[in-house]
Chain A
Amino acid sequence: MRRAVLLVFVIVGLAWPLLAPRYFVFLASLVFVNAIVAMGLNLLSGYTHQLSFGHAGFLAIGAYTTALLGLHGGGLPAPLALLGAGVVTAAVGVALGLPCLRLEGLYLTMATLAFGFVVIEAILNLDRLTNGADGLRVPAARMGPWALTTDGARYYLVVVVTALLVIAALNVTRMRVGRALLAIRESEIAAQASGVPVATWKTIAFALSAFYTGVAGGLFAWLIGTLSPDAFDVFLSVDFVVMIILGGLGSVPGSIVGAAVVTVLNDALAGFQNYRPLIFGTILIGCMLFMPGGIAGAWRRQTAP
C-alpha cells in the first residue's frame, strides 16, 4: 500500500512538467526548494532543539553565492555552483553556530533572528557586489553547453537535487552522525555522560543545516531569476519554522509535507497578504495545541497498531 502510494507520487512527480501548466511547474519547484530548507532546519531544530528564525538569511547567502558564481564563475556547471553555495553557507553556519553554543532557548532564537536582519543589511550595503535594493539578475543554471532556461528543465534539476538530499537526510539519522544528534535531542546529559562531544555535534548540526539551506538558496535563485533582499525577510524565516512544526519536528517526510502545505497555502493566500500572519499564527497555535508532533506525529498515531 505504502509502496503503491509512493510509486504514484514518483510517476506524477516525474511527469509533472508534461501534465501541469507552467505556473504550477514553478510552484512545485518552489515546494521542493522549501522542502530542502525545511529538512535543513529540521536537522538543527528537530534534532538538537535549536530553533532558528534566521534561515531566510542562510537562503539568501546561498542564493547570492550562486548568482555571483554564475556572473563571475565562467559558466560553472550547476552541481558545482550548488556545492559552492552549500559550502559557503555552511561556513557562515559554523561562524554563527560557535557563538550560539553558549545560548539556549529564547536567547538562541533572538540571535538567529538578528542574524537574518544582519544578512539583509549586508546585502543592501555590499551593493557593488549584490546590486543592493535594485536587485541582482541571476544567470541561468548551466550544465556544460546547455543553459536550463525553461521551467521544466529547472524543475528536473530541483527534483534531482531534492531526491539526493532526502536520501542523505534519511541516512544521516541512521548513521553515527544521526545517532549522536538524536541522542542529544533525547537527553543532552546522557549524551554528554556517554562521551558524545555535544558542542562539536551542535556545531556540525548548524553547518549541515546551513549547507542544506544554502543549496536550496542556489536553486531558489535560478527559479526566481532576480534576487533582492526583501525576498528574504523575517517572515520567510517564520514560514520555514511553520513548515517544520506543522510537518513534525525531526521528521524528514514531515518536512516535505509541511513545506508543501505552507508553500501552496502561501500561494493561494497571495491575494490576502495582510491576513497571512494571522492565518499562519493560527496554524502554529493549532498545531501546538492539537497536533504536537505535527502531521508526521499524527500520521504515526493513526497508523500505529
Chain B
Amino acid sequence: MRAQLELHDVSVSYGQRRALEDVSLTVGAGEIVALLGANGSGKSTTLRTISGLVRPSRGRIAYEGRDITTWQPDGIVAAGVGHVPEGREIFSEFTVLENLLVGGHTAPAREIPARLQRALAMFPVLRERQRQPAGTLSGGEQQMLAIARALMAAPRVLLLDEPSLGLAPRLAREIFRMIERINAAGVTVLLVEQNARRALAVAARGYVLETGRIVMTGASSALAADPRVRAAYLGG
C-alpha cells in the first residue's frame, strides 16, 4: 500500500513538557487507522502537529511524498489534509451554512456551491437546519457539522479527534457509520478515539500511544486480542 501520510521520529514539546517523543507512524492511502491511548498520551497533539497547529521540535512529516513539516496550517488544509478538532469547535454564533462556508475558505469560489450541496446531501439534518445558529444544534448534530465543515475543503486525508466524545451510543454509532462512508468515498482517515472498541471495529490498523510514545502497533484484530490493550482500553 502507498503511504499517504508519514511521521518520522516526530517530537513535540510544550515549554518544558515533552508531549510527543520520536513518534513514527504511517497511514496508507484509503486506510482507516486508529490512534489509541489514555487522556494526555499525545493523541490530539499528534493530529495538531500533522495539521500544522503545533510545530514539532524534531522529526519530519510527509504527505503524498512532500515534506509538510514547516507548512502553515492553511497550506496543509489546501493540500488536502482536513482536521476535525477535539471538542468539535464549531463556530456557535454562525449559522450552519456559515460554518460550512468557513470550512470552504481554501476552496476556489466556483467549487463552493457543489461542495455545499455534497456536504448537505451527506448530512440531511444539516440541510434542515442550515439557517440555524450552530450553537443551537444537539451534540451529535454539532459533530456532524464539524465533519461536514472539514469535508468542505475536499480533503484526501481526514484527521478526526474524538468524534464520539460525549455522544449517546446511538449517535456515536451513526457518526462511525458516517466515517466508514467517508472512507468508502476514498478519503483516508486517521482516527483518534477514547472508545477503543469502536475505533478498532472500523480501523484496519492501530497505534497505541503512552505518554507521548508509540508503544504498540498492529492490525486491529491483533490489537483487540492483545491482553495489554484489553486491560488498558477495552475494559478487561
Q: Which residues does A use to contact B, with CB under 8 Å?
A: 176, 179-180, 182-183, 186-187, 189-199
Q: Which A residues are CB-close (under 8 A) to B67? A: none
B101 sits at the interface (CB 8 A): yes
Would A182 and B73 be within 8 Å (CB), given that A190-B85, A195-B78, A196-B102 are in contact? no
Which of B25-33, B88-96, B115-123 sits within the interface? B88-96
Cα separation A191 to B146 with both chains bound (whole Å): 12
In the bound complex, do residue A196 and residue B94 qualify as a contact, i.e. CB atoms below 8 Å apart? no
Chain B contact patch, size range:
20 to 34
Cα separation A34 to B51 with both chains bound (whole Å): 42
Cα separation A183 to B153 with both chains bound (whole Å): 16
B103 sits at the interface (CB 8 A): yes
Residue of B nearest to A200 (CB): B74
Cα separation A195 to B92 with both chains bound (whole Å): 18
Cα separation A190 to B82 with both chains bound (whole Å): 11
Q: Which B residues are CB-close (under 8 A) to A190? A: 85, 89-91, 102, 146, 149
In the bound complex, do residue B73 and residue A195 qualify as a contact, i.e. CB atoms below 8 Å apart? yes
- Selected from B74, B84, B90, the residue in CB contact (under 8 A) with A195 is B74
B155 CB to closest chain A CB (Å) equals: 10
In the bound complex, do residue B102 and residue A179 qualify as a contact, i.e. CB atoms below 8 Å apart? yes
Cα separation A182 to B92 with both chains bound (whole Å): 11
Q: Which A residues are CB-close (under 8 A) to B85? A: 189-190, 193
B9 sits at the interface (CB 8 A): no
In the bound complex, do residue B89 and residue A195 qualify as a contact, i.e. CB atoms below 8 Å apart? no
B200 sits at the interface (CB 8 A): no
Q: Which B residues are CB-close (under 8 A) to A182? A: 91, 93-94
B132 CB to closest chain A CB (Å) equals: 15
Q: Which A residues are CB-close (under 8 A) to B91? A: 182-183, 186-187, 190
Cα separation A187 to B145 with both chains bound (whole Å): 15
Q: Which A residues are CB-close (under 8 A) to B152? A: 194
Would A183 and B102 be within 8 Å (CB), given that A192-B73, A193-B89, A194-B150 are in contact? yes
Interface string of B143-169 (1 = CB under 8 A from A): 000100110110000000000000000
Identify 22 residue pairs between A and B in the complex whose beta-carbon atoms are under 8 Å apart, listed by A's number: A179-B94, A179-B102, A182-B93, A182-B94, A183-B91, A183-B94, A183-B102, A187-B91, A189-B53, A191-B102, A193-B53, A193-B84, A193-B150, A194-B105, A194-B152, A194-B153, A195-B73, A195-B105, A195-B106, A195-B153, A196-B105, A197-B72
Would A186 and B74 be within 8 Å (CB), given that A180-B105, A193-B83 are in contact? no
B77 sits at the interface (CB 8 A): yes
Residue of A nearest to B73 (CB): A192
Would A192 and B53 be within 8 Å (CB), given that A182-B91, A197-B72 are in contact? yes
Q: Which B residues are CB-close (under 8 A) to A196? A: 74, 102, 105
Q: Which residues does B use to contact A, with CB under 8 Å?
A: 51-53, 72-74, 77-78, 82-85, 89-94, 98, 101-103, 105-106, 146, 149-150, 152-153
> Which 9 A-B pairs have CB atoms at the shortest separation, nearest pair first?
A195-B77, A195-B106, A190-B89, A193-B83, A186-B91, A197-B74, A192-B73, A187-B89, A195-B74
B148 CB to closest chain A CB (Å) equals: 11
B145 CB to closest chain A CB (Å) equals: 11
Q: Which A residues are CB-close (under 8 A) to B106? A: 194-195
Q: Which B residues are CB-close (under 8 A) to A176? A: 105
In the bound complex, do residue B102 and residue A194 qualify as a contact, i.e. CB atoms below 8 Å apart? yes
Residue of B nearest to A191 (CB): B102
Cα separation A183 to B95 with both chains bound (whole Å): 12
Residue of A nearest to B93 (CB): A186
Residue of A nearest to B159 (CB): A193
In the bound complex, do residue A186 and residue B101 qualify as a contact, i.e. CB atoms below 8 Å apart? no
Residue of B nearest to A195 (CB): B77
In the bound complex, do residue A179 and residue B73 qualify as a contact, i.e. CB atoms below 8 Å apart? no
B236 CB to closest chain A CB (Å) equals: 35
Q: Which B residues are CB-close (under 8 A) to A187? A: 89-91
Q: Which B residues are CB-close (under 8 A) to A180? A: 102, 105
Residue of B nearest to A183 (CB): B102
Chain A CB count within 10 A is highest, among B83, B85, B91, B152, for: B91
Q: Which B residues are CB-close (under 8 A) to A197? A: 72-74
Residue of A nearest to B155 (CB): A195
Cα separation A197 to B90 with both chains bound (whole Å): 17
Cα separation A179 to B82 with both chains bound (whole Å): 19
Residue of B nearest to A186 (CB): B91
Q: Which B residues are CB-close (under 8 A) to A193? A: 51, 53, 73, 77, 82-85, 89, 150
Residue of A nearest to B51 (CB): A193
Cα separation A225 to B101 with both chains bound (whole Å): 47
Q: Which A residues are CB-close (under 8 A) to B78? A: 195
Cα separation A223 to B98 with both chains bound (whole Å): 42
A197 CB to closest chain B CB (Å) equals: 4
Q: Which B residues are CB-close (under 8 A) to A192? A: 51-53, 73-74
Cα separation A194 to B85 with both chains bound (whole Å): 10
Cα separation A196 to B51 with both chains bound (whole Å): 12
